[in-house]
A and B are shown apart, each in its own frame.
Chain A
Amino acid sequence: MPNLWIQNARVIDPAAKRDARGDLFAVDGKLVPSLSPAQKKRAKKIDADGLVACPGLVDIHVHFREPGQTHKETIGTGSRAAAAGGFTTVVCMPNTSPVADNAGTIQFINDAVRRDAVIKVLPTGCITVGMKGQALAPIGSLKRMGVVAITDDGDCVQSNELMRRACEYAAMFDLPIMDHCQDASLTQGAVMNEGKVSTRLGLRGWPHAAEDIIVARNVILSESTGAHIHLQHISSRHSVGIIRRAKERGARISAEATPHHLALTDDLLSGYDTNFKMNPPLRTEEDRLELIAGLRDGTLDCVCTDHAPHTDYEKDKEFDYAPNGILGLETSLPVTLEILFRQSKFKLPFVIDLLTRRPADLMKLPAGTLAPGAAADICLFDPNEKWLYDAKKGFSKSSNSPWSGQTLTGRVKTTLVDGRIVFDGKQVL
Chain B
Amino acid sequence: MPWTRKHLITLEELSLTEIDQIHATAVAFKRTLSRSVKKVPALRGKTIVNLFLEPSTRTRMAFDMAAKRLSADVISLDGASSSTTKGETLRDTAQNIQALQADMIVLRHAAAGSALYISRILDIPVINAGDGAHEHPTQGLLDTFTMKEHLGSLHGRKVVILGDILFSRVARSNIHALVKMGAAVTLVGPSTLVPLWFTDLGVKVSYDLRSALADAEVVMLLRIQHERQLSGHFPSLGEYTGMFGLNKTRASWLNPKAIIMHPGPINRGVEIDSELADGDRSVILEQVTNGIAVRMAVLYLCAGGQPELVMPTE
Contact = CB atoms under 8 A, between A and B. Distances in A.
A201 B230 contact: no
A320 B112 contact: yes
Nearest to B168: A202
Contacts, number: 62
Contacts of A321: 111
Contact of A318 (B12, B113, B169): B113
B190 to A, nearest CB: 16
Contact of A319 (B91, B111, B198): B111
Interface stretch (B127-135, B207-215, B255-263): B127-135
A319 B114 CA distance: 8
Interface string A311-323: 0010011111100
A204 B109 CA distance: 15
B69 interface: no
A271 interface: yes
Residue of B90, B91, B113, B166 with most partner-chain A CB within 10 A: B113
Contacts of A199: 166, 195, 197-198, 200-201
B154 to A, nearest CB: 21
B231 A203 contact: no
A319 B201 contact: no
Interface in B171-198: 172, 195, 197-198
Nearest to B112: A202
Interface stretch (A75-83, A107-115, A188-196): A188-196
Nearest to A195: B197
A173 interface: no
Given A202-B135, A316-B91, A271 B116 contact: yes
B116 A272 contact: yes
Contacts of B197: 195-196, 198-199
Interface in A52-85: none
A202 B133 CA distance: 4
Nearest to A269: B113
Nearest to B134: A202
A201 B113 contact: yes
Nearest to A189: B230
B75 to A, nearest CB: 22
A188 B230 CA distance: 7
Contacts of A144: none
A195 B12 CA distance: 18
Contacts of B195: 199
Contacts of B200: 196, 199-200
> Number of contact residues on B: which range applies?
20 to 34
Interface residues of A, number: 21
Contacts of A200: 12, 172, 200-201
B112 A319 contact: yes
B198 A272 contact: no
A318 B114 CA distance: 5
A202 B201 contact: no
B89 A319 contact: no
A78 to B, nearest CB: 26
Interface in B71-129: 89-91, 109-114, 116-117
Given A189-B230, A202-B131, A318 B90 contact: yes
Contacts of A189: 230
Contacts of B166: 199
B111 A188 contact: no
A320 B231 contact: no
Interface in B218-244: 230-231
A316 B90 CA distance: 10
Contacts of A313: 89
Interface string B129-148: 00111110000000000000
A275 to B, nearest CB: 13
A188 B229 CA distance: 10
B115 to A, nearest CB: 10
Nearest to A186: B231
B155 to A, nearest CB: 24
A185 B172 CA distance: 26
Given A199-B195, A203-B133, 16 more contacts: A188-B230, A196-B200, A200-B201, A202-B112, A202-B172, A203-B132, A271-B116, A272-B113, A316-B89, A317-B90, A319-B111, A319-B112, A319-B113, A320-B112, A320-B132, A321-B111
Closest 8 CB pairs of A and B: A272-B113, A202-B134, A202-B133, A318-B111, A199-B197, A202-B112, A320-B111, A188-B230
16 contacts: A196-B197, A196-B200, A198-B197, A200-B172, A200-B200, A200-B201, A201-B113, A201-B134, A203-B133, A272-B113, A272-B116, A317-B89, A317-B91, A318-B111, A318-B114, A320-B112
